[in-house]
Structure 1
Amino acid sequence: MPDKMPDKSPTAPAGWGEGLRFAFGTLSVLRVRVERWDRPAAARAMAAAPVVGLVLGALAAAVGAPAAWRAGGPLGAVVAVGVLAALTRGLHLDGLADVADGLGSGKPAEDALRIMKQSDIGPFGVLTLVLVLLAQIAALAGQFDAGAARGALAVLASATAARCALAWGCARSVPAARPGGLGAMVASTVPPATALLSSAATALLLAALGALDGWSVLRLPTAVAVGLGCAWLLLRRCVRRFGGVTGDVLGAMAETAATGCLLTLALLG
């Protein structure tokens, strides 16, 4: 997620339509007309973020599955991961690299946050990006090798897990690490019950889709839950280290959840 966005004072409570437009406008390259940039709209957007994951995951799966069917699982995995990165302008990956540099610097919070805002990527960021992308592609290739439909569902699960993590990163108990930027706008906006409901609805949908393909109804929800657990551990570390969340932290949580989800599916066989 980008860590820059004009902050406006909230006016009236935002509707879900406004929240969805906010979510698609900030979390994807899809062109939408965003009418509100305020905290009420941000709260709705982060709770509705899994809908963005469903759309982006479906688009990536629609391209990756034919590639896997024609040329094998590894190519399908590369295509799907690449399409997801393109549909988000690589913002989550950029956040992951910045957080890796900030955590790896070993410097006090203020200096680490300044490192994260720099435009260049340091060695920790490069190494983390390489390892995470390799892990995602390797895990997803195995799913595509088991079948194009199975690989497509894995893409969908990882994309939605990534966006479910955003709601937890914006829970009301989690402060912003610094004033200003999108991170400060969305921080502490989502009630925990709303984040739980959003994740549960996503898990139920994935369970139904998995059952249609012959998987256990628990397989995809389990993978999503593990991915969210990994993202939560990263969130705890960042809150202790930086004092709260930033847009980069939220992006890193999304990539961590997606990777954890895919690795779980690979380990489940």
Structure 2
Amino acid sequence: MTEGPGGSRASVAEGLRFAFGTLTALPVTVARWDRAAARAGMLGAPLAGLTVGLCAAALGGLLLAAGSGPVLAAVAGAATGAVLTRALHLDGLADTADGLGSGRPPEAAAAVMKRSDIGPFGVVALLLVLAAQIAALARCYAVSWPYGAVAVALSATTGRLALTLAAREGVRAARPEGLGAAVAETVPARAAWLALAAVTAAGAGAGALDGPASIARCGCAVLAGCAAAEALRRHCGRRLGGVSGDVFGALAEAAATAALVVMTFGTA
């Protein structure tokens, strides 16, 4: 259980409901919407990512078994992630790209990000990120289905781990309202770094399925994904004033993409 303001606590179940209810499209009802639940939910975010990744891996495996080839399996993996999140993170990526690309002060950039349409920077960001994810995942599936399955599950988990890190103490919200404000600074820094260590170790362990070289590659993929997200988070902090719901989406996609790219290194 986690303790929130005033000594209130959120159970593990309430935290998982918060994580799955806000970060996926799965039919989960958020039982509590307070700082304690947000803290537990952000700590449980990697589990939500793992679930999405495993679903994507299962569909990819079915297509490969049917003889579709690695490219279609990779497209299915990217599509599964979008469907199971209602494209929430991709939408955040596009809005963040438009806000940053506008070159405007924080308040004006936030107004750009709130628009319902997608601007040219958002379109380019979506195209490049999805192309990179599909190309990288196709390469991983070309190695073997187990390796591709580990890659897609690990990248999805890393994407949500980046949210855990972005919700740690000391990372302020860009605005006083919205999802960013609801989860900003809810996770103790020590707990965030422990989550990073745990996911990195678990990822390295999963790499053992493909031999010693994959152990290091999978561990590095987690670290590289989180490093890419942290670099983007710092840039958004300077340009936009902090994190927001859109920024969280962009961080998830940046981390997942970087992790997938690292998973391709040394596989040729």
TM-score (norm 2): 0.94
Ranked by relative contact order (alpha carbons within 8 Å, sequence separation 6 or more), the top structure is 1
Q: Which whole-Å CA distance do the structure 2 matches of 1:68 and 1:179 have between them?
A: 47
* Larger deviation, residues 26-35 vs 87-96: 26-35
Equivalent residue for 1:128?
125
Q: 1:234 aligns with which of 228, 232, 241?
A: 232
Q: For 2:10, what is the secondary structure of its paired residue?
A: coil
Equivalent residue for 1:174?
171
Equivalent residue for 1:199?
196
RMSD: 1.3
Verify: 1:259 aligned to 2:257, yes or no.
yes
Q: For 2:36, what is the secondary structure of its paired residue?
A: helix
Equivalent residue for 2:50?
54
Q: For 2:91, what is the secondary structure of its paired residue?
A: helix
**Structure 1 residue 66 displacement after superposition:** 2.3
Give a deviation string over 1:171-200, Cα, whole Å, max 9, x none: 111111011111100011111111111121
Q: Which whole-Å CA distance do the structure 2 matches of 1:113 and 1:184 have between them?
A: 14
**Structure 1 residue 65 displacement after superposition:** 2.0
Percent identity between the aligned chains?
52
* Amino acid in the other structure paired with 1:119: S
Q: 1:76 aligns with which of 69, 73, 92?
A: 73
* Larger deviation, residues 131-140 vs 69-78: 69-78
Q: Is the 8 A contact 2:159 2:254 kept in 1?
A: yes
Verify: 1:17 aligned to 2:13, yes or no.
yes
Mapping of 1:51-200 within 5 angstroms? Answer: 51-69=47-65, 70-200=67-197
Equivalent residue for 1:3?
none
Q: Is the 8 A contact 1:10 1:38 kept in 2?
A: no
Give a deviation string over 1:64-106, Cα, whole Å, max 9, x none: 1221342111110000110011000000000000000000001
Q: 1:232 to 1:60 in 2, by over 3 A?
A: same
Tell me how many residue pairs correspond in the alignment: 261
Q: Is the 8 A contact 1:230 1:260 kept in 2?
A: yes
Q: Which whole-Å CA distance do the structure 2 matches of 1:152 and 1:246 have between them?
A: 31
Q: Is the 8 A contact 1:48 1:198 kept in 2?
A: no
* Larger deviation, residues 66-75 vs 144-153: 66-75
Equivalent residue for 2:34?
38
Q: Which whole-Å CA distance do the structure 1 matches of 2:108 and 2:266 have between them?
A: 41
**Structure 1 residue 35 displacement after superposition:** 1.1
* Amino acid in the other structure paired with 1:65: G
Q: Is the 8 A contact 1:182 1:246 kept in 2?
A: yes
Q: Which whole-Å CA distance do the structure 1 matches of 2:79 and 2:47 have between them?
A: 20
* Amino acid in the other structure paired with 1:248: D
Q: Is the 8 A contact 1:68 1:145 kept in 2?
A: no
Q: Is the 8 A contact 1:68 1:74 kept in 2?
A: no
Q: 1:210 aligns with which of 194, 207, 212?
A: 207
TM-score (norm 1): 0.94
**Structure 1 residue 111 displacement after superposition:** 0.3
**Structure 1 residue 215 displacement after superposition:** 4.6
**Structure 1 residue 10 displacement after superposition:** 7.3
* Amino acid in the other structure paired with 1:81: A
Q: For 2:254, what is the secondary structure of its paired residue?
A: helix
Runs of 4+ in 1 over 6 A off after TM superposition: none
